[in-house]
Chains A and B, each alone.
Chain A
Amino acid sequence: MIQFENVTKTYNKSVRAVDDISFNVKGGEIVGFIGPNGSGKTTTMKMLTGIIKPDSGKITINGFNIRTDPIKAKESIGYIADSPDMFLRLRGNEFLELIGDIYHVPSADRQERVRSLAEKFGLTEALPAPMMSYSHGMRQKMMVIAALLHKPPVWILDEPMIGLDPKSAFELKQLMREHTKEGNAVFFSTHVLEVAEKLCDRVIIIKNGKMLYSGTLEELEKQNKNESLENIFLELTEK
């Protein structure tokens, strides 16, 4: 569902943020994207969602090329950005209405999904209030609801657990599992190795824009004589 082929991105003609990376995410898979700060994770996520234009390579989402067929590709994506402080002067319901209309969510589906997601994430009371009055965690939950509102087949989530309370983090992980069971794909970045360990079918490790590893965690542990994921990660990224 996600094909990322030989993609390169250079900033200011000198800093190579993503260096000829290729990977794909199939339907039914949860793939974790791990790497130290400044390794190129967010740049990769932004290229996947059409925010940044790659210098070279090809990106396909749900069969649509993000450069040549951007609207169709973007309709297939549910994206959570790295910061949830967006449109804070809108009320929660106004923000979701905006997202619902942009992604053409029919009225009945919209009401049912907003109700279900708001109850799941404990946002029912806060929904009619301005988002300015929300805590960081509540804003993050609102971004999660907005990203999932149109039932996109591909989820691209940049550090989605940051700011979520344990119950909401649990709910999101459950939703990710349910989503992939239906044949959809989840691609998310995280710094929390335990989350990747428990949730991901595969992980991709990146450093300085280069892909260091792509595969299952079991294979990675076997290759490294059953060391802990934390140790393996540190060894890989501190070489």
Chain B
Amino acid sequence: MKIYLRLVSALIKGVEPSSKEKKYNRIFYYVMSMIAVFGIMLPMAFFVGVILYSMTNALSSFGTQENAIELFLHLIAVFSFIFGMNVIFSVFYFSGDIENLLPLPLKPYQIIGSKFTAALISESVMEFIVIIAAFAGYIIGAGLPFYSWLIAVFGMLTMPVIPLIYCGIICMLVMYFTRFVKNKDTVNKITGICTFLIVIGIVVFVSRSGFDSDALIKAASESDNGLLGVMNCIFPQIPFLVGSMSGAGIPALLAYIGINAAAVVLFMLTAQAVYFKSVVGIGQGGASSRRSFESVIAKMKQRSAWVTYLKKEFRLLLRTPAYFTNCVMINFMCPVFIWLVFLIQERTHFMDSFVYGIHSGNEETVLQFMLGISAVSVLVTAVNCIASSGLTREGKHFAFVKYIPLSYIAQINVKALVSIIISGSGMLLCVAAACIWLNTGIKFIVFSCLLSLLSVSYASYFGIYMDSVNPKLVWDDELNALRGNYNIFFNMALAILLEGVICAGSYLLFRFTEIGAIRIIVLLFTVLMALNAVSYILCNYKATKNIDKLSI
């Protein structure tokens, strides 16, 4: 147990920022933390709590009040599974500490147990907040006694365990059965793509199997609920947790603990049986090349430094599994969600008035559409963190940025361009598809795409500036460059806040003044261009100075 605790503590410290980073610019971190907590986390928790409270109240008349929290916890479990897969893969098989841990006289279950716990703690902070907010909404809505709060806290801490255990067992088995494949990066990337395809599959299944709000409310109100029945088989601990809070008492709580304990034992046994066999001799991207020396020499041609630097950035993003799944693939989730909206609209016609508004040129609808495009473009650019991890990704070799004879602003421009190209292509695909589906004219498509690109562009430069304030350069594997990176989180918080102000301001201007939507859209374009200029100037004058000041 002592070894396990020491390992967990050491592994968690590896993900946290170093003390040097903590000392750096405390005021900046304090302000950003306040913005993140009060601007995003608390409003989001409040929103979740209110939804659960309302749903619990609505369902209490049918006597199925616990269905709302059960459905919500299943949703959280599915999300934990999907997003946990990539994390668990990297932590178990691709982190830099493996080479240090394997030679030590440790048993596989000790290594895996500590790695799993460290990943669970560092990955689930946001999830904990959402879960406790949901429990609060449910407990207040159902008027449950005080002891339910204690069980809620216990449930909050233990809920993500089983979804992550599923990820752990699947990833150990995948690596065990593919242990003869030389290039493990490929296995990692293929698993990421499969997870992505599973998400699409779930989305299509849900939308095709009668997704409409009436059916969902009806299903939630039924005590013999088919969807819940299926989900309860996948995550059997959830009904016992909810039951223990809702009057089933100690036996349900013991059953909940028992299921979790059984899952942990199964997980440890799997680790003991397959982990060493699947991890020993692992080599990332160790594939040899079929190209000959003569052919690569013959192809060596002088190009612009700018173009080659851009190619280097693309190669590293596409070839590094952690960056590929977290930074690149995520952009192509957006078109999937647009597709989902199309599918749901086909069945439920929930957007008929919006579609009619666009077709008839209704000013308010057109404005809503344009504001939506700008907001989503900025959000996607901030979430994929290509820009806000642009300097961080250089890691221990950040010195390269400083000793090569290429100006800092030229390097910043290239890094911003990479973000604009990748985020922009995902967004343009969405915007063009939406416009074509809405059957808008060509001018409308061009304006929408331009608006999206302007939003992506300023968010990219702004992201790089945010990263330059204090890039996280000490990490031992690429996923660690993104995990626990406060710059990425703060950048997201500021982007949401800024875009919230722009969108809300534009909409309020439309509602409460005589200025028409067209003029407000022109104003929006002007504001976005000004933000582009400001973020570029910020990079040119401040980010370059920040880079110059950094001691590595």
- Residues of A with Cβ closer than 8 Å to B? 11, 46, 49-53, 70-72, 74-75, 77, 79, 81, 83, 85-91, 93-94, 96-98, 100-107, 110-111, 114-115, 118, 124-125, 127-130, 132-133
CB distance from A81 to the nearest CB of B (A): 6
> Are B397 and A51 in contact, with the CB atoms below 8 A?
no
Give the A-binding residues of B (Cβ under 8 A).
283-289, 291-293, 295-305, 307-309, 311-312, 315-316, 319-320, 396-397, 399-400, 402-407, 548-549, 551-552
Complex A-B: 15 CB contacts under 8 Å: A51-B552, A53-B551, A81-B397, A86-B400, A91-B289, A93-B297, A94-B315, A98-B312, A102-B404, A104-B302, A110-B300, A128-B289, A129-B289, A130-B286, A132-B283
**A71 proximity list for chain B (CB < 8 A):** 405-407
B332 to chain A, nearest CB (A): 21
How many angstroms from the CA of A33 to the CA of B404 in the assembled complex? 22
- Distance A187 CA – B291 CA, assembled complex (angstroms): 36
A118 touches B397 (CB 8 A): no
Q: Are A101 and B305 in contact (CB under 8 A)?
A: yes
With A11-B551, A129-B288, A133-B287 as known contacts, state yes or no: A50 contacts B402, CB within 8 Å. Answer: yes
Instruction: Tell me which of B288, B316, B549 contacts A89 (CB under 8 A).
Output: B316
The answer on a CB contact under 8 Å between A89 and B320 is yes
When the two chains form their complex, are residues B302 and A93 in contact, meaning their CB atoms are under 8 A apart? Answer: no
Closest to A156 in B: B403
Minimum-distance CB pairs A-B, first 4: A74-B405, A101-B308, A128-B289, A128-B291
Q: Given A46-B399, A51-B399, A74-B403, A102 and B287 touching (CB < 8 A)?
A: no
By a CB distance below 8 angstroms, the chain B residues around A49 are: 399, 402-403
- CA gap between A87 and B400 in the complex, in Å: 10
Residues of B within 8 A of A96 (CB): 300
Chain B, Cβ-Cβ closest to A89: B319
A157 to B235, CA, bound (A): 58
A89 touches B315 (CB 8 A): yes
The reply to whether B552 and A46 contact each other, CB–CB distance below 8 Å, is yes
List, in ascending order, chain B residues with CB within 8 A of A85's CB: 396-397
> Inside 8 A of A90's CB, which chain B residues have their CB?
312, 315-316
Q: Which of A88, A97, A127 has the most CB of B within 10 A?
A: A97
A49 CA to B307 CA, complexed, in Å: 24
Residues in B with CB closer than 8 Å to A115 are 297
A228 CB, nearest partner CB in chain B, Å: 35
B285, A111: Cβ atoms closer than 8 Å: no
Cβ of B289 and Cβ of A52 under 8 Å apart? no
Q: Which residues of B contact A81 (CB under 8 A)?
A: 397, 399-400, 403
Considering the chains assembled together, what is the distance between the CA atoms of A71 and B408 in angstroms?
10
Q: Which of B293, B399, B405, B552 contacts A102 (CB 8 A)?
A: B405
How far does the alpha carbon of A96 sit from the alpha carbon of B549 in the complex, in Å? 28
Give min CB distance, A146 to chain B, whole Å: 10
Interchain CB contact under 8 A, A114 and B285: no
- State whether B396 touches A132 (Cβ < 8 A): no
**B293, closest chain A residue (CB):** A124
Q: How far is the CB of A119 from chain B (nearest CB, A)?
A: 9
Check if A79 sits within 8 Å of B403, measured CB to CB: yes
Q: With A46-B552, A101-B302, A110-B302 known to touch, is A89 a contact of B285 (CB < 8 Å)?
A: yes
Residue numbers in A under 8 Å from B552 (CB-CB): 46, 51-52
Q: How far is the CA of A83 from the CA of B400 in the complex (A)?
A: 11
* CB-defined contacts of A125 to chain B, threshold 8 Å: 293
B contact residues around A98 at 8 Å (CB): 308-309, 311-312
Bound-complex Cα distance A11 to B289 (A): 44
Q: How many whole Å from B394's CB to the nearest CB in chain A?
A: 10
CB B220 to nearest CB in A, in angstroms, measures 48
Min C-beta distance of B314 to chain A, whole Å = 11
Task: Please judge, given known A-B contacts A11-B551, A114-B297, A127-B293, whether A107 and B302 are in contact too, CB under 8 Å.
Answer: yes
Shortest Cβ distance from B400 into A: residue? A86
Known: A53-B548, A91-B289, A129-B289. A102 touches B308 (CB 8 A): yes
Q: Which of A83, A102, A107, A132 contacts B300 (CB 8 A)?
A: A107
Question: B405, A75: Cβ atoms under 8 Å?
Answer: yes
- Least CB distance, A16 to chain B, in whole angstroms: 14
User: What is the distance, in angstroms, from A51's C-beta to the closest C-beta of chain B?
Assistant: 4
Q: Is the CB of B396 within 8 A of A83?
A: yes
Q: Give the distance to chain B from A157, nearest Cβ to Cβ, in Å.
A: 13
Question: Is the Cβ of A118 less than 8 Å from the Cβ of B402?
Answer: no
**Cα(A102)–Cα(B403), bound, Å:** 11
From A70, A79, A93, A106, contact of B296 by CB (8 A) = A93
Interface centre among B291, B302, B309, B407 (most CB of A within 10 A): B302
Query: Which residues on B sit within 8 Å (CB–CB) of A77?
Result: 403
